Amino acid sequence: MSPEQIQIVRTVVNEFLPVAKNQTCAEKVFKIVLKFVEGDANQATTRCEVRDVFAEIGEQSNDEKLNLCIKTASALARGYFHWMQGQESADMLDIYPALQLYDCYQHPEPVDWVQKWRDNGGRVFARNEMIALKNDPIWIRISAFKLPFPPFDLGGGMDVSEVGRKEAQELGLISPSQRVEPIVADLDFAAALQQRLKEYFSPEVQGQKMEIAMRQASAGVLLQLAQERLDSLEEITSESAPEIIMILERALERGFGEESRQQLTACGLLVDIFDSIEEFEKANFYREKQLEPLKVLIAKSSPTDWSMLTYFYGLAAGICEKLDQRDQAVIYRQLELENRDGFMLLRDVLDELKACGGNIEKEIGAKILDELTKAAERLPEKYQRQHAEIYRATGEVLEAWGDTTQAIEYYEFAIQKNPKVGVKKRLDTLRKNESA
């Protein structure tokens, strides 16, 4: 991290969060956010640690603002780094003298960027392409922070890509002999950020953002928006739930097409929300809705994708149990058992074998051997330790039945797969008894 990037992070933290009056708290929070920006912590951990610092001084945290603070600090520090790379080399400025503004996330923007570009003196080319030289003042003019690098607004998805000299000349932005001079960024953007924060979190702007998202966003983008809202909450309450419910229900209305997993996720989130606010009838309504994409996913799954099928059948069984659809729940539980992957199957068989002790009846033993065979088929060969356990368990059943010759054979197979499987003493004893 350069001193300039550190300055950017500090400015963002100080303006976003209520730490300015407590220098000790401010420094703690700054270091926590800096760890995230440097890639040494994830967002959830960062958020929790900042909350803990606030709790020490009796300060409440606004989760939406906190999430936006973390993202903005990281994005601006990264934006400055890439911008400086393009400014420090005269050759790079000569080869790539211009930048193009574009929506890198393809999601509804609260700002009409083409109009804003025009209003600030920018030229718009074919297909609404917004391109200007790297040292053009347009980049500072369009920025909510008065900085010449992205991001150019809070929560925005606009970024820049470099434009080569040939294209810049063809567009009339630069002559063949012209050179682009580097500029120095004024990183004193605290006042601009403070003003933008007041506007951004005003009821009017928040309402406009939601209206745009609800009108323009795809089902997938709405699902992502709902998940972000949920991630920012410590708990779901009757006050925080309605907006997220509205977003998810609009996503379902808009339709996920072939994306059955997203439809399943949206219904599942609605189930969790309605359960949390104790509206159980509505939760059950969306449980019913969950079964629709689940059936599609089960039908599309490969017959040998054991872990996925186990998960889908188990989820379906749990839903049916909650809905008191007992007959259907029993069917799904049976299918869940039949489609366990090799790891789950082996674990369950070993538990069953342990419960038998040394007395393994023929019927139970036959069932165990059948399940061990299935586990071997469903486990890739590279998992030698698990295959050794299968051979060892098979040997135990055969030994309990008095089939010493076969038991010895399977114990030998187990040792070949894993010399530490733990049957060497037993194998030696069986060999001595058989040769006696």
CA-wise closest residue to 389 among 363, 417, 425: 417
Q: What is the C-alpha end-to-end distance of the chain, expressed in Å?
A: 75
**What whole-number distance in Å separates Cα of residue 297 and Cα of residue 270?**
19
**What whole-number distance in Å separates Cα of residue 286 and Cα of residue 340?**
27
Query: What's at 38, amino acid-wise?
Result: E
Using only the alpha carbons of the chain, give its radius of gyration.
31
Q: What CATH number does the domain located at 342-435 have?
A: 1.25.40
Res 108: pLDDT: 62
Q: Please state, in angstroms and as integers, the Cα–Cα distance from residue 114 to each residue in 120, 121, 154, following that order.
A: 10, 11, 17
Q: Is this model's pTM higher than 0.75 or not?
A: no
Token pair listed for 312? 């889908």
Domain 203-338 fold: 1.25.40
Res 115: pLDDT: 94
Res 156: pLDDT: 79
Token pair listed for 118? 């025009």
Res 436: pLDDT: 64
Instruction: Check residue 128 and report its DSSP letter.
Output: G
Token pair listed for 337? 């058992």
CA-wise closest residue to 98 among 186, 185, 157, 172: 172
Q: What are the φ and ψ backbone dihedral angles of 421, each rounded to 5 degrees? A: -70, -20
203-338 and 342-435, same CATH topology: yes
Q: What is the mean pLDDT of each run of 10 residues along the chain (436 residues)?
A: 94 88 88 94 89 85 85 95 90 94 74 92 94 96 96 90 96 94 94 93 79 81 86 84 94 94 96 96 96 94 84 95 96 90 89 87 91 90 93 93 92 92 89 80
Task: Provide the 10 A C-beta neighbour count for residue 44.
Answer: 9
Task: Provide the 10 A C-beta neighbour count for residue 378.
Answer: 18
Domain ranges of the chain: 1-88, 90-176+188-196, 203-338, 342-435
Q: What are the φ and ψ backbone dihedral angles of 104, each rounded to 5 degrees? A: -80, -20
